[in-house]
Structure 1
Amino acid sequence: MTFLSLLYRFVSNFALLMLAYYSLNALENYQQRSILALLILIYVLTRAVSAWRSFSFFQSIERLENEARRIGSLLGLRPDQSLIKRQIINDVTEKRRHGEFKSYIDLLFLTIVVVLCVTKIVSE
């Protein structure tokens, strides 16, 4: 399931890149092309801000994971309770890592789209 979510993220970002590339190359008029490039840049900026905010969220989750591990080791719980809590912490860690990886994929494609838009604005 994780592979499918990463594949979906890759395909959707690739579709955004191809749509931006095709639409910017299809327009002949410089003014229309630059306006479209600016609109795409605004959209990319909002998605990039969202990706950066998710990194701060993931850092908070990581701090909570470390605190939960520390408290769990200090309390000395029964073995069955310890296994359940350890499994929950490991699941959260795995989901956090996959979320970070998805954010990195987003930022990679958004950076490529920004470079594409800037080159279309600068070139004539």
Structure 2
Amino acid sequence: MTFLSYVNRFVSNFVLLAVAYYSLNAMDKYQQRAILAFMILVYVAMRAVSALRSFSFFHRIERLEKEARRLGGMLGLGPEESLFRRQIITDVSTIRRSGEMKSYIDLMFLLLIVLICVTKIVTD
């Protein structure tokens, strides 16, 4: 299931990259191409800010995981509760790593889109 979410993220970002590339190549006049590239750059900047904020969120989740592990060890409750707590912490860490990986995929494609837009603005 995690692999399918990575594939979905990859395909959706690749479609965005392809649309940006082909729409910038379809423009004949430099002024139209520059305006479209600027609009794409604004959209990419908003998505990049969102992806970077998610890293802050994931860092907070990681700190909570460590704190939960520490407190779980200190309390020393029964084996059933300890097993249940470990399973929850393991699930949360798996979801966090998956989210971080998706954010890295997003940032990679956003960087490629920025490179395409900048080259289309710079070249005539």
Q: Please give the TM-score of this superposition, normalised by the length of structure 2.
A: 0.99
Distance in 1 between residues matched to 2:69 and 2:118, nearest whole Å:
46
Identity among equivalent pairs (%):
67
Instruction: Please give the alpha-carbon distance, in whole angstroms, between the structure 1 residues aligned to 2:35 and 2:90.
Output: 47
Aligned to 2:91: 91
- For 1:63, the equivalent position in structure 2 comes to 63
Instruction: Summarize the alignment of residues 30-41 of structure 1 with structure 2, pairs less than 5 Å apart.
Output: 30-41=30-41
Unaligned 5+ runs, structure 2:
none
- List structure 1 segments (4+ residues) > 3 angstroms apart after TM superposition: none
Any stretches of 5+ residues in structure 1 without a counterpart?
none
CA deviation map 1:42-62 (0-9, x unaligned): 000000000000000000000
Cα RMSD for the two superposed structures: 0.4
Which whole-Å CA distance do the structure 2 matches of 1:122 and 1:74 have between them? 60
Separation (CA, whole Å) in 2 of partners of 1:2 and 1:20? 27
One-letter amino acid matched to 1:27: M
- Give the Å deviation of 1:122: 0.5
> TM-score with structure 1 length normalisation?
0.99
SS in 1 for 2:77: coil
Aligned residue pairs total 124
Aligned pairs (5 A) from 1:22-37: 22-37=22-37
